[in-house]
């Protein structure tokens, strides 16, 4: 059984999908707790599944290091096998990353290395991209730079708004995230065997074939 702590900042649709996946014993996933950097609406999903939650808000700390130290203490309290950043919109300092690496993964709404950062969907539209997508990757000290585990592409449609495109990406993202976590739980994907120094190419963007 792979034990997981999930960190979120927002509506938590990826979290909800993970909680639903964990509900199926065949997936071998257990969500131990969900943390957030604000009283995010997505925490309600955890409460519905009787999963404990914690909020560690940066504004209650003198600096980012002090904030992330307490966040890390909360995560470590549960001693998870894996920590999943599922829409967690803060950059974590190297001390947090190295304490959990390589068992710290993130989902990002673009085909990295294209469009890293907080506005990936907006940036893809602004660049006139015809195709964007989603990447699940191991977190390293950079912003969205860690070894890529899986990617899936999503077509940009004429007239797409940021919201419409992001919603279509998120539909794919939820399935990709679950698939990666399930593979880690099954042992078919071994994070300890990745070379953290390389932009590993386990990821080959595949067309979105869920529709």
Indicate the residue among 87 and 147 with the shorter CB distance to ligand GRF: 87
Distance CA(136)–CA(128), nearest Å, equals 23
> Judged by CB under 6 A, which stretch of 7-15, 74-82, 97-105, 143-151 contacts ligand GRF?
7-15
Measured at the alpha carbon of residue 144, what is the angle toward residues 140 and 149, in degrees to the nearest 5? 75
Nearest residue to ligand GRF by CB is: 87
**Which one of the listed residues 108, 119, 137, 163 is annotated catalytic?**
108
> Judged by CB under 6 A, which stretch of 5-13, 74-82, 136-144, 192-200 contacts ligand GRF?
5-13
> Is position 152 an interface residue for ligand GRF (rule: CB under 6 A)?
no
State the DSSP string of 128-175: T-SEEEEEEEE--SSSS-SPEEEEEEEEPPTT--HHHHHHHHHHHHHH
By CB under 6 A, the count of residues binding ligand GRF is 15
Q: Residue 154: beta bridge partners?
A: 132
Measured at the alpha carbon of residue 135, what is the angle toward residues 5 and 187, in degrees to the nearest 5? 55
Taking CB under 6 A as the rule, which mask of x and - marks residues 74-113 in contact with ligand GRF? ------------xx-------------------xxx----
């Amino acid at each position: 059984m792979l034990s997981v702590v999930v960190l979120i900042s927002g509506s938590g649709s990826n979290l909800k999908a993970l909680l639903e996946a964990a509900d199926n014993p065949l997936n071998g996933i257990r969500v131990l707790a969900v943390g957030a950097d604000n009283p995010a609406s997505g925490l309600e999903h955890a409460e519905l599944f009787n999963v404990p939650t914690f909020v560690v808000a940066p504004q209650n700390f003198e600096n980012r290091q002090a904030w992330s130290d307490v966040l890390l203490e909360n995560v470590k309290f549960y001693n998870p096998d894996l920590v999943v950043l599922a829409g967690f919109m803060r950059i974590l300092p190297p001390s947090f990353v190295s304490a959990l690496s390589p068992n710290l993964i993130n989902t990002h709404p673009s085909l990295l290395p294209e469009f890293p950062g907080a506005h990936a969907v907006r940036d893809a539209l602004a660049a006139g991209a015809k195709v964007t997508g989603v990447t699940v990757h191991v977190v390293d000290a950079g912003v969205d730079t860690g070894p890529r585990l899986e990617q899936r592409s999503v077509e940009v449609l004429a007239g797409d708004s940021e919201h419409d495109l992001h919603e279509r990406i998120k539909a794919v993202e939820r399935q990709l995230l679950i698939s990666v976590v399930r593979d880690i739980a099954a042992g078919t994907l071994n994070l300890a065997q990745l070379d953290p120094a390389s932009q590993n190419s386990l990821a080959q963007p595949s067309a979105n074939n869920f529709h």
